[in-house]
Amino acid sequence: MTPDHLVALLCPPLHNPRRRRGGNMAPEKSATVPQFLRGAELVKQGAEARVYRTQFLGRPTIVKERFSKRYRHVALDEKLTRRRTVQEVRSILRCRRAGIPAPAVYFVDYTSHCIFLEEILRSSTVRDHIASTQQSASCTVQELDRDQDRELVQEQELEQLAQQVGQILAKMHDEDVIHGDLTTSNMLLRRSPEDRGSDLVLIDFGLSYISALPEDKGVDLYVLEKAFLSTHPHTEALFQKLLKSYSASSKKSSAVLKKLDEVRLRGRKRSMVG
Ligand SMILES: Nc1ncnc2c1ncn2[C@@H]1O[C@H](COP(=O)(O)OP(=O)(O)OP(=O)(O)O)[C@@H](O)[C@H]1O
């Protein structure tokens, strides 16, 4: 990001060019790309947001830009987009205050709905990590005894990871933060600089909110369970390890796990009825 980009960001024009005079539909997606993001590397184009990699005040930065939806009324769109941005920032800050690993928030621009986040370097998603571990384990299944040892080590590593996830989610729920979109893609595994270990960082709090209700926490875990088991086949035992660790780490786990059982039952009934 150049100084010109920073000026454009910090001193946006008084007239908001994103709003069409007289019209109430939001403008085209392409018209909304803020000037300061031109030249930034597009990491991901999602349905709700674009994620860019750039530099901000000399630091490696991820910018999450929530764009307008053309089909929504402009005022409603503005309100919803702003609310999601506020929620995401609020939950990240709440997590970080409680020592739950989430990227630092460097800057928020509510005009363009951009959140500037610390880029988690040397990281990969938990999804990719589990998938590659499972793949390498299955490749070696017909090989020698030493490969069986390796497989055991990999299994233990995955169990440790599941325990780590359980602990972090317990801590997050004890802070009454509901993530709203728990998947293994929304957890990053950051390797230490000397490659001596790794720690977990939670990302993508766009659907998060604050709630003390065991029901909301149970649903949060249910969303993760569904995503986990469908993304990573044959991991039922691993997911149980995650829940066990959640249960051991959270002060309020019994009510939450009871709700999780109820939500599962409701889910099963719904799929039986069709
Ligand atoms: N702080 C970060 N540091 C490093 N990479 C990040 C960071 N935030 C996001 N990413 C990368 O960008 C991808 C998309 O980010 P994120 O999940 O926040 O966006 P999204 O559009 O809301 O995604 P989804 O549509 O899956 O909900 C992540 O999977 C990750 O690879």
Nearest CA to ligand 1 atom 24: 46
Mean local confidence (pLDDT), 98-105:
98
Domains of the chain: 39-118 (3.30.200.20), 123-137+149-271 (1.10.510.10)
Q: What per-residue confidence (pLDDT) applies to 253?
A: 97
The one-letter amino acid at 247? S
Phi/psi at 135 (5° precision): -65, -45
As a whole number of Å, the CA-based R_g of the chain is: 21
Nearest residue to 158 (alpha-carbon basis) of 250, 234, 257, 251: 234
Is any atom of ligand 1 closer than 6 Å to the C-beta of 119? yes
Helix (H) or strand (E) holding 271: helix 253-273
pLDDT tens-place string over residues 157-180: 999 999 999 999 999 999 999 999
Lookup: tokens for 152: 């055991």
pLDDT at residue number 22: 39
**Sign of the CA dihedral running 40, 42, 47, 48:** negative
On whether the CB atoms of residues 188 and 120 are closer than 8 A, the answer is yes
Atom number, ligand 1, closest to the C-alpha of residue 46 = 21
Catalytic residues: 181
Q: Which atom of ligand 1 is nearest to the CA of 120?
A: 3
Mean per-residue pLDDT over the chain, rounded: 86
Structure tokens at 28: 């085209």
Secondary structure element (H or E) that encloses residue 65, with its range: strand 59-66
Q: Can you tell me the distance from the alpha carbon of 68 to that of 205, in angstroms, rounded to the nearest whole number? A: 18
Q: What's the average model confidence in pLDDT over 130-135?
A: 86
Question: What pLDDT is stored for residue 29 in this prediction?
Answer: 47
| 180 CB within 6 A, ligand 1 | no
Q: What is the pLDDT of residue 153?
A: 80
ipTM summary value: 0.94
State how far the Cα of 248 lies from the Cα of 102, in Å rounded to an integer. 22
pLDDT at 38: 83
Closest CA to 231 of 164, 179, 183, 174: 183
For the chain, give the percent of residues with pLDDT over 90: 66
What pLDDT score does 45 carry?
A: 93
What is the sign of the dihedral through the CA atoms of 250, 251, 254 and 260? Answer: negative
Nearest CA to ligand 1 atom 29: 185
Find all residues with CB under 8 Å of 171, minimum gap 6, and list them. Answer: 98, 99, 100, 249, 250
Task: Report the separation in Å between the CA atom of 204 and the middle of ligand 1, taken as the mean of its atom positions.
Answer: 6
pLDDT at 147 over 70: no
Residue 217 exposure: Cα atoms within 13 Å on the Cβ side = 28
What pLDDT shows up at residue 192? 87
- The model's pLDDT over 180-212, given as tens digits with 9 standing for 90+, comes to 999 999 999 999 887 778 899 999 999 999 999
Chain segment 14-52, per-residue pLDDT in tens = 334 444 443 444 444 444 577 888 889 999 998 889 999
pLDDT at position 5 is 57
Distances (CA, A) of 108 to 28, 56, 104, 240: 22, 12, 11, 38
Record the tokens describing residue 3, joined without a space: 């100084």
pLDDT digits (tens, 9 = 90+) for 216-247: 999 999 999 999 999 999 999 999 999 999 99
Show the tokens assigned to 61.
Answer: 């930065």
Does the reported pTM lie above 0.95? no
Please tell me the predicted confidence (pLDDT) of residue 42: 96
More confident residue, 85 or 141: 85
Other beta carbons within 10 Å of 210: 13
Query: Ligand 1: distance of its center to the CA of 45 in Å?
Result: 10
Alpha helices (H) in 61-144, listed in sequence order: 74-97, 126-139
Q: How much of the chain, in percent, has pLDDT values that exceed 70?
A: 82
Return the pLDDT at 143: 60
Q: What is the mean pLDDT of residues 266-270?
A: 80
| Rounded CA separation 55/12 (Å) | 19
